[in-house]
Amino acid sequence: MAEKHAVLVDIDGVLTVSWKPLPGAVGALRKIRGAGLEVALVTNTTSRTRASIAGVLTGAGFPVTADDILTAPTVTAAYLARHCPGARCALLNSGDDIREDLTGVRLTGYDDTDSDMDPDVDVDIDVVIVGGAGPGFDYVALNRAFGQLQRGARLVAMHRNLYWRTDDGLQLDSGAFLLGLERAARREAEITGKPSAAFFEAALAHLGVAAGDALMVGDDIESDVLAAQRAGITGVLVRTGKYLPETQRDADGSPDHVVDSFADLPALLGLGEGASSAQQ
């Protein structure tokens, strides 16, 4: 493999599961950073802010800061600023409050202009933003979003993930609900997170490297690996997290490399001796 100068790493399912470090992941990231490679953690996670993610990861021993993390909400904010500045937006998302990562986005019922507006009241909006699924994706919330789309709102989704892995196994994600909204409203979502080309372009710009100098490590063959390869980035699939043999078998393409876990990455990059289970 040609020498690489930067590594893009998915978090959930690659470094952690349910925010607990996977075996060898902390040491592998330390070795990669110690070798002088640029690192960006690129994630579709919408349940935590960059600062919150950084706090959890550093507490677990990972050598990262908030500046190393690129999330779907941060890329979504930049996308909305370019394509619909000033738009009144409604956010459908479960998890922590992610407003601090949606810089400049006018969220109905939350920003200064609309501070006297009840976020539970139907109002005409310009954009429905779909984040990550959870308890907030109930009938009332989804039906409200459907009504807003029928009245002409644009549909912007942070990702299309159908599921993710936790300690309790695979859990349904917002991609499953997004398909229903698209079909019912007869409107195709604009995707801002992985696997969109814009997400990977933003990551490369963040690191200041060319696609050919970067490598992407993920557990989702479609959204992480093949999407990165389409952007000219070398793709590495790990057999952890949401990885399933059948999804690899049925995918539209093949990863550049497959490894058992992130712990094998330093050996794949030639950063140290030791057995590696990498396949080319």
| pLDDT tens readout for residues 159-196 | 888 887 777 888 888 899 999 999 999 999 999 989 99
193 neighbors 130 (Cβ within 8 angstroms): no
Quick one: which of 176, 178, 99, 175 has its CA closest to 146?
A: 178
For the CA atoms of the chain, what is the radius of gyration? 19
Q: In 3-state terms, what secondary structure has residue 124?
A: coil
Residue 90, strand partner residues: 128
For the chain, percent of residues with pLDDT exceeding 70: 91
**68 band by pLDDT with thresholds 50, 70 and 90:** very high
**108 band by pLDDT with thresholds 50, 70 and 90:** confident
> Encoding tokens for residue 196?
């969109």
Any idea what the Cα angle at residue 96 is, between residues 95 and 97, rounded to 5°? 125
Residue 123 is predicted with a pLDDT of 65
Give residue 240's identity as a one-letter amino acid code. Answer: T
DSSP string, 157-175: ES----EEEETTEEEE-HH
What is the rounded CA–CA span in Å between residue 17 and residue 164? 9
* Average pLDDT of the residues in 48-60: 94
pLDDT at 119 over 60: no
Mean residue pLDDT of the chain comes to 89
What is the model's pTM? 0.78
What is the rounded CA–CA span in Å between residue 120 and residue 109? 8
